[in-house]
Amino acid sequence: MTQYILALDQGTTSSRAILFDREGRIRGAAQQEYPQHFPQPGWVEHDPRDIWNSQLKVAREVLRASHVAHAQVAAIGIANQRETTIVWDRKSGEPVANAIVWQDRRTAGECDRLRAEGVAERIGQRTGLELDAYFSASKLAWLLEHVPGVRSRADRGELAFGTVDSWLVFKLCGRHVTDASNASRTMLFNIHEMKWDQELLDLFGIPASMLPDVVESAGEAGTASSEWFGGPIPITGIAGDQQAAMFGQACHRPGMVKNTYGTGCFMLMHAGQRPAVSHNRLLSTVGWSVGGTTDYLIEGSVFMGGATVQWLRDGLGIIRESHEVEALAASVPDNGGVFLVPAFAGLGAPHWDPYARGTLVGMTRGTNKGHIARAAVEAIAYQSAELLAAMCRDASVPVAEVRADGGAARNDLLMQFQADLLGVPVVRPRVTETTALGAAYLAGLAVGFWASQEEIAAQWQAERRFEPSIGADERRGLMARWDEAVARSKGWA
């Protein structure tokens, strides 16, 4: 009987389920978008029930369409949008409010207040993170203070907090767990001691009883109930989506770099088996914990990557489908002097400006929608180039290449411009669904579906390699112009 791994890839705008075979090949896939909620400017929410229902639906759909029975699924791996904060009732399993999404900026003022109290350095030393509304801690504190009755119920031990992985595992099997990669994104987890930090819990006013148990990224997390798939299936892999993509890209050695072009862009460098310290406002984060060993990463986050293209589609209406942006951007020879800084949710690394806002500069009467589309595509590459420059200043080893994945990595125009700006090759793998693949690999390692990380690394194959085509002087000139555009977006709100 042929065996598979089922990967649940729960993203910011859609839920996916993908079946992988022993060669790491996709044998079935299903995807469903779900609603986004923007109740106020700068606020972003999801209904946790939409997250669960869409994820369950696509998981069932891919098994049914692929004619795969539950007994053929060796394990389930979960990769998830990170930092998004959910609180639910332990008995009923019902959420107490909408999830506050990682993009949400409602707690920026509270983070400013804490920064003024002088606690940012202490938080950074323990968690590896910047004091920012991006992470879960201030979001959870907001829910405790602003949703009626939640504080008292939490104090009585009735409520559970979790990131999306915790929510899915709870719905699948009733256990309240997370893995270290997700825990490390909450701003409540000490990455040196690998445990929840009581001093940080006290700082944010969060009861320890709300927190999930921390399990290994590859290991027993629970068993999905028979009611969901017709029989029990072990859940043995969990990782935040970017760590999962790093693992799926086989970036298992220090100095290796990947960049995921999804809703946001997330560039990660393997830093070894001790937390790295960034001097350029990048993040130090847990990559994965496997077999008692923890790997650490340096990360830079861009809040608006593929979401910029969605804005062209949904906000401006200049394209009907996201994939049309490449042809529209290629309809003009260059950006015509137009720069788009997509700071719709502030700026992430290395700026960390929650008050920056989207800015479109350099337009003339000759500007058309092709120029705006090209500026949007190029903005994704410019933001990522800033991250690699910061990483190279932090790193002790040179970067040989950047492995690219995510939906926008299929855009050849973007990949070539990215290589030009980085000055190193950008390599697109044969399987670009590396977030789901990484979750599958972690789950499969735990049950012996794959024997080792070396076996996994041997499966990685390049589909196309984009080599830099411009010189250093031109590269510096382009980045200098981008820096000017970014400066105009800062502090606007």
Q: Please check if 12 is assigned to a binding site.
A: yes
CA separation for the pair 6, 21 (Å, rounded): 9
Q: Please check if 464 is assigned to a binding site.
A: no
CA separation for the pair 475, 155 (Å, rounded): 55
What lies within 8 Å, CB to CB, of 375 at 6+ separation is 335, 338, 339, 340, 360
What is the per-residue DSSP string for 114-169?
Answer: HHHTT-HHHHHHHHS--S-TTSHHHHHHHHHHHSTTHHHHHHTT-EEEE-HHHHHH
What lies within 8 Å, CB to CB, of 70 at 6+ separation is 63, 226, 229, 230, 231, 232, 233
Of 4, 11, 5, which Cα lies nearest the Cα of 241? 11
Instruction: With residue 355 as reference, give the H or E element that holds it.
Output: none
CA separation for the pair 446, 288 (Å, rounded): 13
Neighbours of 90 (CB within 10 A): 15
Q: Please check if 178 is assigned to a binding site.
A: no
Task: Please answer whether residues 165 and 78 qualify as being in contact, where contact means their C-beta atoms are separated by less than 8 angstroms.
Answer: yes
Q: Please check if 407 is assigned to a binding site.
A: yes
Task: Please answer whether residues 352 and 130 qualify as being in contact, where contact means their C-beta atoms are separated by less than 8 angstroms.
Answer: yes
Q: CA-CA-CA-CA torsion for 92, 98, 99, 104, nearest 10 degrees?
A: -170
Of 158, 219, 144, which Cα lies nearest the Cα of 188? 144
Q: Please check if 85 is assigned to a binding site.
A: no
Helices (H) and strands (E) in the chain, counts: 17, 23
Q: CA-CA-CA-CA torsion for 160, 161, 165, 170, nearest 10 degrees?
A: 10
Task: Please answer whether residues 243 and 290 qualify as being in contact, where contact means their C-beta atoms are separated by less than 8 angstroms.
Answer: no
Distance of CA 376 to the CA centre of its chain: 20
Q: Please check if 16 is assigned to a binding site.
A: yes
Q: Please check if 242 is assigned to a binding site.
A: yes
CA separation for the pair 419, 414 (Å, rounded): 9
Task: Please answer whether residues 130 and 67 qualify as being in contact, where contact means their C-beta atoms are separated by less than 8 angstroms.
Answer: no
List b or e across 446-462, with b for residues whose CB sees 16 or more CB atoms inside 10 angstroms.
bbebbeebeebeebbee
Q: Please check if 14 is assigned to a binding site.
A: yes
Q: Please check if 81 is assigned to a binding site.
A: no
Q: Please check if 364 is assigned to a binding site.
A: no
CA separation for the pair 311, 374 (Å, rounded): 14
Question: Which residue shows structure tokens 């990224």?
Answer: 217
Binding site membership for ADP: which residues?
Answer: 12, 16, 263, 306, 407, 411
Binding site membership: which residues?
Answer: 12-14, 16, 82-83, 134, 241-242, 263, 306, 310, 407, 411
Binding site membership for sn-glycerol 3-phosphate: which residues?
Answer: 12, 82-83, 134, 241
Binding site membership for glycerol: which residues?
Answer: 82-83, 134, 241-242
Binding site membership for ATP: which residues?
Answer: 12-14, 263, 306, 310, 407
